[in-house]
């Protein structure tokens, strides 16, 4: 989330942008999405209340158990997540370059 | 000891959060706001996972949230890089201006 | 040795396949070697088979079956070749004249962009023609028949980028198609009546038939129609003069020596049918007589050197039909053989002449070439002399004299056909020496500096020699000797006629050119020039109404179905293109709607 703050700082989006955004949020714009979201909520809640489940005890799962699971059963997935972060890093670096820089580079 | 909360409440909260995020994606025109709404949606999904995992007394739900968070971070990084490029190209963050791939 | 028979048609086919697959990628020399090589090997095989067949002479025919083509019910024609006296002659002539013309073309067509394409088509043509003459059953013959028609179309329209050539090719194909269709119906009729298309079986079955029955007449007429189409006789002769749009070796091979004689071969091969239909046979003779006169008159007034030769071909094949019509099968085939020699030589000489004057076809614009091209002078002279049947020296004299003798002596001949033949002989020498004198004597109109290639000279020399000496070859027919001239009156008449034609041509055309003055003679001149109006009649009677009908039917109701289909497609495309407007939130909304529908489906089911 800090990235958002960085981007907003870099692009110098001041209160003027917020003002623009607000001016565009008239009722007509809200209507369609509201309808769609309403339908979605109704569907989901209907699906949830259709079946009566037993009231289980809400057990707090301790962090120790989570850690053991992460480094035990799900270890490969942790590795893959690290690879994903690496890919994200490289993608963000490459995509964030300025256009004038990329014209001097021969290989993509 | 916490009072037992029925599963439906937890999942219902996740559903409502998801819909709110969805409304945000559909309504907003500034692309940074759209990305923020997508973050909200992702977190709603994670909440659903955690609630389910807590009910089944397994740590898998929290593990899943772990990975969702990882993925969200990567996606935000790439997405914000694209936002920067878009700003340099169009000089505005309005999504309506990036409509050259018209049918 | 006779087992080598199958090599004869198949070797050029191999050459064709090789040139089709690799012709573009190999050099011109390699193309020439492949093409000429396969045809040469095929000619060697033909020579071996022919010599063995003629020398042993014990059996009168030989048949070799490669495999059964197909088997439907009781009908199982085979890919089989049949050798008897008739097909030996045809095979030898086609193979050797074809070889000579291909050697000529390797020098003539050098520098043309479609070199490999030309030789591929020529190989296919020679293979098809050999299949035609060697076929054992009429279905296989029809395969060769169609094959030569196809190659004729491909080769006439060889320089297809010029639209007139393409139109000439289409015209040739369409007109011969009319004949081909009639012939196909004739084959159906024969099969339906006798259950087989094998020539030997048909001959045996038909020999028990009464002659003059309706079935025989109908079958003979249909086969005759096919022969007329392919051999350019009246009334289907209109395609041959326009077919001169193709390269000269094509005109020499296809439209002088081989393809146009396929009709003659057909009638000679199925002579048992025609013998049993004597009225149709008489019609054959009459058609032959009319055609030879029409060809002669038209050739007399043409200006294009190749068109003169084209009409001359029509006329000479008329002689062959005349001979067939009176039952003189050997005479017709003998004339075919000699005609192949001198007509292809004349065409090849014409090709050299046209190249020498840089593409000029009009004979009145050439002249005085006898000093510039001496070898061609002699070659052309020998060819014209043989065409005019110069007495005792040339082979043409013996063949034409034999035909006239047979016509005179046959019962159905009569004096009319004989005089038609004699007038035709006069016309022949008249137009051929008119062409010769105008092109080669007199003042030269154009600047010529051209020496024919060595290969071209060799081929022309060989053909010139054959035009003279071909008359002395003994043929394995029931002809006694070929120097037999029958009654002296006939021989003298024929000789005097041809000499008279030469003298008249010399007087009229060598020294000065006279102009037609009276309106009457100009009208006749124009009529002869336009092939006695056949082209115009066909254009107005058939072509124009058909084009009008096709235009009137342009927007009929079936078209509206397809137009509606097209409009519906366009409307759907316009409607769906609303959903692709590049707006990001629009797409997100689409995803939402989709997920709603999916969840609804999952919930409700």
A75 Cβ under 8 Å from any chain B Cβ? no
Chains touching C, CB cut-off 8 Å, 3+ pairs: A, B
Distance from CA of A44 to the nearest CA of C (A): 8
Instruction: Give residues with Cβ within 8 angstroms of C442, minimum separation 6.
Output: C367, C368, C510
Cβ of A3 and B77 within 8 Å? yes
Length of chain A: 108
Separation CA C289–CA C292 (nearest Å): 5
Long-range contacts of residues C77-81, Cβ cutoff 8 Å, at least 24 apart: C77/C137, C77/C139, C77/C140, C77/C197, C77/C198, C78/C136, C78/C137, C78/C140, C79/C140, C80/C135, C80/C136, C80/C137, C80/C140, C81/C5, C81/C6, C81/C8, C81/C9, C81/C134, C81/C135, C81/C136
Q: Which of chain B's residues have a Cβ under 8 Å away from the Cβ of C592?
A: 22, 26
Identify the helix (H) or strand (E) that includes residue C81. Answer: strand C78-84
Burial class (CB in 10 A: 0-12, 13-18, 19+), C356: buried
Q: Which of chain B's residues have a Cβ under 8 Å away from the Cβ of A66?
A: 59, 62-63, 66
Strand C78-84 and strand C61-68: the pairing is antiparallel
Q: What are phi and psi of A105, to 5 degrees?
A: -95, 130
Which residue of chain A has the CA closest to B80?
A7
Distance from CA of B4 to the nearest CA of A (A): 5
Cβ of A47 and C593 within 8 Å? no
For residue C380 the two structure tokens come to 């052309």
Instruction: Give residues with Cβ within 8 angstroms of A105, minimum separation 6.
Output: none
> Mean pLDDT across chain C, nearest whole number?
83
Instruction: Give residues with Cβ within 8 angstroms of A72, minimum separation 6.
Output: none
Q: Are B51 and B14 in contact (CB under 8 A)?
A: yes
| The pLDDT of residue C568 | 93
Which residue of chain B has the CA closest to A19?
B30
Residues of chain C whose C-beta is under 8 A from some C-beta in B? Answer: 576-585, 588-589, 592
Could you tell me the pLDDT band of residue C198, with boundaries at 50, 70 and 90? Answer: confident
Cβ of B100 and C582 within 8 Å? yes
Q: Which of chain C's residues have a Cβ under 8 Å away from the Cβ of B102?
A: 580-582
Separation CA C345–CA C360 (nearest Å): 19
Which residue of chain B has the CA closest to C574?
B103
Separation CA A20–CA A24 (nearest Å): 7
Higher pLDDT, A58 or C503: C503
For residue C196 the two structure tokens come to 């087989």
Q: Are C161 and C229 in contact (CB under 8 A)?
A: no
Q: Which of chain B's residues have a Cβ under 8 Å away from the Cβ of A96?
A: 81, 84-85
Nearest to B103 among C580, C585, C588 (CB): C580
Closest CA to C343 of C369, C393, C308: C308
Chains touching B, CB cut-off 8 Å, 3+ pairs: A, C
Listed ranges C121-130, C237-246, C428-437; the one with the highest mean pLDDT: C121-130
Mean pLDDT of the C110-133 span: 90
| The pLDDT of residue B47 | 92
Which residue of chain B has the CA closest to C585?
B26
Burial class (CB in 10 A: 0-12, 13-18, 19+), C49: buried
Instruction: Give residues with Cβ within 8 angstroms of C181, minimum separation 6.
Output: none
Nearest to C596 among A32, A33, A36 (CB): A36
Could you tell me the pLDDT band of residue A41, with boundaries at 50, 70 and 90? Answer: confident
Burial class (CB in 10 A: 0-12, 13-18, 19+), C523: exposed
Burial class (CB in 10 A: 0-12, 13-18, 19+), C337: buried
Q: Count CB neighbours of C594 within 10 A.
A: 10
Block residue for tokens 């409307």: C571
Could you tell me the pLDDT band of residue C40, with boundaries at 50, 70 and 90? Answer: very high
Disruptive mutation site among B22, B24, B59 for chain A (greatest number of A CBs within 10 Å): B59
Q: What are phi and psi of C453, to 5 degrees?
A: -60, 155
Cβ of A84 and B70 within 8 Å? yes
Closest CA to C67 of C148, C14, C136: C136
C597 Cβ under 8 Å from any chain A Cβ? no
Cβ of C593 and A44 within 8 Å? no
Block residue for tokens 């296989």: C140
Q: Where are the beta strands (DSSP E) in C348-422?
A: none
Let me know the angle formed at the C-alpha of C267 by C154 and C52, rounded to the nearest 5 degrees. Answer: 85
Q: Which of chain B's residues have a Cβ under 8 Å away from the Cβ of A65?
A: 59
With a threshold of 0.85, tell me whether the complex ipTM lies above it.
Answer: no
Could you tell me the pLDDT band of residue C15, with boundaries at 50, 70 and 90? Answer: very high
Q: Which of chain A's residues have a Cβ under 8 Å away from the Cβ of B34?
A: none
pLDDT of residue C482 exceeding 50: no
Q: Which of chain B's residues have a Cβ under 8 Å away from the Cβ of C576?
A: 103
Could you tell me the pLDDT band of residue C114, with boundaries at 50, 70 and 90? Answer: confident
A70 Cβ under 8 Å from any chain B Cβ? yes
Nearest to C593 among A36, A44, A47 (CB): A36
- C257 to C49, C113, C252, C262, C320: CA distances (angstroms): 21, 26, 6, 10, 13
Which residue of chain A has the CA closest to B65?
A66
Cβ of C582 and B101 within 8 Å? yes
For residue C574 the two structure tokens come to 């316009």
Note down pLDDT in tens along chain B; length 103 residues. Answer: 456 677 788 888 999 999 999 988 888 878 888 888 999 999 999 999 988 888 888 888 888 898 999 999 899 889 888 888 888 888 777 777 777 776 5
Separation CA C43–CA C356 (nearest Å): 31
Cβ of A11 and B76 within 8 Å? no
Q: Which of chain C's residues have a Cβ under 8 Å away from the Cβ of A39?
A: 596
pLDDT of residue C349 exceeding 50: yes
pLDDT tens for C384-418 read 888 888 876 777 777 888 888 888 777 666 778 88
- A63 to A69, A71, B72, C551: CA distances (angstroms): 10, 12, 22, 87
Q: Compute the count of residue pairs across chains A and B with CB atoms less than 8 Å apart.
A: 141
Which residue of chain C has the CA closest to B100?
C582
| The pLDDT of residue B1 | 43
Cβ of A92 and B32 within 8 Å? no
C473 Cβ under 8 Å from any chain A Cβ? no
Closest CA to C95 of C135, C54, C38: C38
Distance from CA of C170 to the nearest CA of A (A): 57
pLDDT tens for C540-587 read 888 888 888 888 887 777 888 888 899 999 999 988 887 777 777 788
Distance from CA of B52 to the nearest CA of C (A): 19
């Amino acid at each position: 989330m800090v990235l958002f703050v960085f981007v907003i700082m870099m692009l110098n989006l001041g209160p003027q942008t917020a003002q623009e955004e607000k001016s565009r949020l008239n009722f007509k714009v809200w209507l369609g999405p509201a309808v769609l979201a309403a339908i979605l909520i109704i569907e989901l809640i209907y699906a949830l209340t259709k079946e009566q489940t037993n009231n289980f005890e809400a057990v707090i799962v301790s962090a120790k158990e989570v850690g053991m699971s992460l480094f035990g059963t799900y270890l490969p997935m942790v590795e893959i997540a690290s690879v994903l972060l690496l890919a994200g890093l490289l993608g963000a670096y490459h995509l964030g370059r300025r256009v004038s820089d990329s014209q001097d580079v021969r290989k993509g | 000891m916490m009072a037992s909360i029925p599963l439906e409440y937890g999942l219902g909260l996740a559903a409502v959060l998801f819909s709110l995020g969805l409304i945000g994606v559909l309504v907003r025109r500034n692309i940074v706001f759209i990305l923020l709404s997508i973050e909200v949606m992702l977190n709603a999904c994670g909440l659903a996972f955690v609630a389910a995992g807590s009910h089944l007394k397994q740590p898998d739900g929290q593990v899943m949230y772990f990975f969702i968070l990882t993925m969200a971070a990567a996606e935000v990084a790439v997405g914000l890089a694209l936002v920067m490029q878009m700003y340099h190209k169009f000089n505005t963050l309005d999504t309506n201006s990036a409509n050259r791939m018209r049918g | 040795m006779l087992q080598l028979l199958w090599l004869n048609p198949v070797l050029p086919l191999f050459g064709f396949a090789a040139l089709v697959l690799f012709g573009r990628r190999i050099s011109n020399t390699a193309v020439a070697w492949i093409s000429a090589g396969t045809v040469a090997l095929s000619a060697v095989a033909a020579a071996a088979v022919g010599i063995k067949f003629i020398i042993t002479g014990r059996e009168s025919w030989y048949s070799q079956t490669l495999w059964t083509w197909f088997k439907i019910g009781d009908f199982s024609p085979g890919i089989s070749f049949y050798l008897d006296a008739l097909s030996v002659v045809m095979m030898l002539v086609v193979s050797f004249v074809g070889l000579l013309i291909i050697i000529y073309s390797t020098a003539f067509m050098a520098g043309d962009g479609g070199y490999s394409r030309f030789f591929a088509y020529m190989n296919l043509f020679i293979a098809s023609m050999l299949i035609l003459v060697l076929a054992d059953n009429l279905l296989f013959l029809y395969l060769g028949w169609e094959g030569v028609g196809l190659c004729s179309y491909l080769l006439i329209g060889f320089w297809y980028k010029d639209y007139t050539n393409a139109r000439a090719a289409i015209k040739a194909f369409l007109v011969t198609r009319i004949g081909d269709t009639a012939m196909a119906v004739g084959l159906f009729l024969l099969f339906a009546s006798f259950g087989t298309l094998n020539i030997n079986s048909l001959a045996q079955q038909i020999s028990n038939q009464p002659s003059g029955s309706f079935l025989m007449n109908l079958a003979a007429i249909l086969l005759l129609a096919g022969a007329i189409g392919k051999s350019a006789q009246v009334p289907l002769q209109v395609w041959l003069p326009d077919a001169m749009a193709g390269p000269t070796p094509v005109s020499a091979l296809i439209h002088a020596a081989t393809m146009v004689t396929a009709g003659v071969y057909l009638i000679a091969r199925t002579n048992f049918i025609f013998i049993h239909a004597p009225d149709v046979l008489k019609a054959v003779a009459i058609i032959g007589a009319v055609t030879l006169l029409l060809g002669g008159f038209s050739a007399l007034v043409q200006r294009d050197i190749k068109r003169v030769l084209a009409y001359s071909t029509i006329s000479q094949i008329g002689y062959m039909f005349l001979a067939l019509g009176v039952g003189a099968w050997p005479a017709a085939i003998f004339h075919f053989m000699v005609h192949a020699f001198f007509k292809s030589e004349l065409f090849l000489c014409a090709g050299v002449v046209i190249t020498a004057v840089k593409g000029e076809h009009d004979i009145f614009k050439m002249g005085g070439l006898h000093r510039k091209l001496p070898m061609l002078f002699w070659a052309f002279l020998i060819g014209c002399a043989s065409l005019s049947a110069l007495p005792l020296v040339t082979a043409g004299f013996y063949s034409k004299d034999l035909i006239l003798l047979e016509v005179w002596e046959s019962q159905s001949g009569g004096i009319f056909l004989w005089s038609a033949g004699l007038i035709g002989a006069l016309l022949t020498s008249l137009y051929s020496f008119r062409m010769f004198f105008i092109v080669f004597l007199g003042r030269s109109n154009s600047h010529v500096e051209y020496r024919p290639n060595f290969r071209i000279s060799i081929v022309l020399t060989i053909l010139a020699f054959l035009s003279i000496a071909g008359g002395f070859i003994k043929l394995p027919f029931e002809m006694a000797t070929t120097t037999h001239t029958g009654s002296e009156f006939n021989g003298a008449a024929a000789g005097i006629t041809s000499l008279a034609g030469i003298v008249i041509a010399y007087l009229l055309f060598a020294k000065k050119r006279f102009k037609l003055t009276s309106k009457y003679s100009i009208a006749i001149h124009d009529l002869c020039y336009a092939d006695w109006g056949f082209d115009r009649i066909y254009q107005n009677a058939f072509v124009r109404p058909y084009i009008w009908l096709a235009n009137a039917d342009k927007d009929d109701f079936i078209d509206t179905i397809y137009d509606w289909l097209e409009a519906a497609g366009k409307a759907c495309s316009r409607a769906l293109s609303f959903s692709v407007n590049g707006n990001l939130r629009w797409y997100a909304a689409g995803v939402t709607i989709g997920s709603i529908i999916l969840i609804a489906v999952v919930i409700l089911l």
